A and B are shown apart, each in its own frame.
Chain A
C-alpha cells in the first residue's frame, strides 16, 4: 500500500475553489463581462466602450490568462477523485480530465483575443475591433461541447460510485449533467444580436453562466470534501466502503 496516495490532491481541488472568484473578478468585473457588450451595438459605439475601458479590460484578461491554469489542475483533481470510485476502467475519468483540461483553451484563447481588442483600440478600425470581439465570444460560447463532455462524464462517473455514501452527492452529479447539456442553447447565440439568446441575453448569458458558476462552486466544494474523506479513510486503513 502506498504511504499517502492522496498527497497533493487537495492542492488540485483547491485550485478550482481559487479560480472561481478569480474568474469572476478578472474575466467578469475587470474584463467588463458582467454582462458583455451587446452584439447589437454599432461598431463605433462598441469601439468607444472599449477605448474607455481598455486598461481595465487588459488587466482583467491578463489576470484571467494567468489564473486559467488552475482549471486544468482542478480537472486533474476531478479525474483523480473519480479514479477512486471506478470499478471497471478509467474511461469516464479520462474524458472528465480531457474535457476540463481542454476547457483551459476555452478560457485562454478568447481572453487573448479580447486582450488584443483592448491593446490599442484607439488606432484600430472599429469594425475590426468588433469582429475580433465577436470571434472571442463565438469561440468562448460555441466550443461548449468540450466542457459539456467533461461535465457529463463527471456526473455519470460519480453516479456510478458503488459506495453506500457516494463521494459526490447525487444532486451535484445531476446538476453537472443538466448544466452541461443546457449549454446546447448556445448554438443560437451566433444567430442573433440581441434578445434572450444573444451573448448578453437572459438565457445564453445570465441563466447559462449563473448555472455554470453554481455547478462549479458546488462541485469544487464537494470535491474537496471527497478528498478529505479519502485521506481520512486511508489513514484509518479503509478503502472503498
Chain B
C-alpha cells in the first residue's frame, strides 16, 4: 500500500514535478482562521456596545506604545519573511537562511514585549477575571500568541532546513511560501487587535 519509493521528488505532487504552481491549500486554513477571528472580533464589538465606558476605560489602561512596538516588530518580521521568499524563489539558500534568521530574531521581540505586558498587567492585579474587556484582551491576544508561536516554530524549522540543503527544492519553496502566508496573517490579525483593543475608544 505504501508507495514512497515511487514518489516523484516534488513531495509526491505531480504539479510540482511538472513545474506547475500548485494550489496552496493553506489558503483554506487561513480563510477559516480569519473567519474565526472575524467572529471573535464581532462578538467583542457587540459586547463593547453594551459597556462602552468600561471598555474605553479599560483600553486606556493598556500601554499603546507597547502595542505599537509590537505592530512594528511584526510588520518588520513580515517584510523580512517576504524577502526570504524572494531569495528562495531565485534559489539562494544562504540569503534565504540569513533573512529567515533575521525575521526570527526581530519577531522574537514580540514575545518579549508580550511577556512584559502580561507580567505588568498581572502585577497590577489585572487578570481575565477583572472585567469583560480584560477577558477579551487575554483571550484574543492569547489566541493570537498561539498563532504567533506556531508561525515562529515554522520559521525556525525552515531556517534549520536551509542548513541541511545545498539547493532549493520545489517543496521547500512551497513550505516557505505557506509559512510566509501564515506569518502575514498573524501580522494582519495583530493590526486588527491593536486597533480594537489598544486604540478604540481611548480618546474618549
User: Chain A interface (Cβ within 8 Å of chain B)?
Assistant: 83-84, 86-88, 159, 162, 164, 170-171, 173-175, 177-178, 181-182, 184-185, 188, 191-192, 195-197, 202-203, 207, 211, 239-240
Q: A211 vs B32: C-alpha distance in the bound complex, in angstroms?
A: 10
Between A173, A196, A211, the greatest number of chain B beta carbons within 10 A of the residue's beta carbon is seen for A196
The one of B26, B36, B139 in contact with A188, judged by C-beta atoms closer than 8 angstroms, is B139
Report the minimal beta-carbon distance from B56 to chain A, rounded to whole angstroms. Answer: 18
Inter-chain contact A174/B39, CB cutoff 8 Å? no
| In contact, B39 and A207 (Cβ under 8 angstroms) | yes
| Chain A contact residues: helix, strand, loop or mixed | helix
Say yes or no: is B28 at the interface (Cβ < 8 Å to chain A). Answer: yes
A240 touches B36 (CB 8 A): no
**CA–CA, A164 and B43, complex, Å:** 40
A–B Cβ pairs within 8 angstroms, 21 of them: A87-B12, A88-B4, A162-B3, A170-B25, A171-B28, A174-B28, A174-B32, A178-B32, A178-B36, A181-B146, A182-B36, A191-B128, A191-B135, A192-B128, A195-B132, A196-B43, A196-B47, A197-B135, A203-B39, A203-B40, A239-B3
Contacts of A191 in B (CB 8 A): 128-129, 135
The number of chain B residues with a CB under 8 A from chain A is 31
Residues of B within 8 A of A164 (CB): 14
Give the chain A neighbours of B2 by CB distance below 8 A.
86-88, 240
Within the complex, what minimum Cβ distance (angstroms) separates B106 from chain A?
Answer: 25
Given contacts A188-B135, A195-B47, A203-B40, contact A178 B146 (CB under 8 A): no
Q: Are B7 and A87 in contact (CB under 8 A)?
A: yes
Minimum C-beta distance from A46 to chain B (A): 21
Q: Considering the complex, which residues of chain B in the window 15-74 have a beta carbon less than 8 Å from any beta carbon of chain A? A: 25-26, 28-29, 32-33, 36, 39-40, 43, 46-47
Nearest opposing residue in chain B for A202, CB measure: B43
Do B29 and A240 touch (CB < 8 A)? no
A236–B155 Cα distance when bound, in Å, is: 43
Kindly list chain A residues whose C-beta atoms are within 8 Å of the C-beta of B139: 185, 188, 197, 203
Q: B143 on the interface (CB 8 Å rule)?
A: yes
Complex CA gap A84/B128 in Å reads 45
Chain B residues within 8 Å of A192, by CB: 128-129, 135
Q: Which of B79-94 contact A (CB under 8 A)?
A: none
Chain A residues whose CB sits within 8 angstroms of the CB of B26 once the complex forms: 174
Given contacts A162-B11, A239-B3, 19 further A-B contacts (CB under 8 A): A83-B1, A162-B3, A162-B7, A171-B28, A173-B25, A174-B28, A175-B32, A177-B29, A178-B29, A178-B33, A182-B36, A184-B143, A184-B146, A196-B43, A197-B139, A202-B46, A203-B139, A207-B43, A240-B1
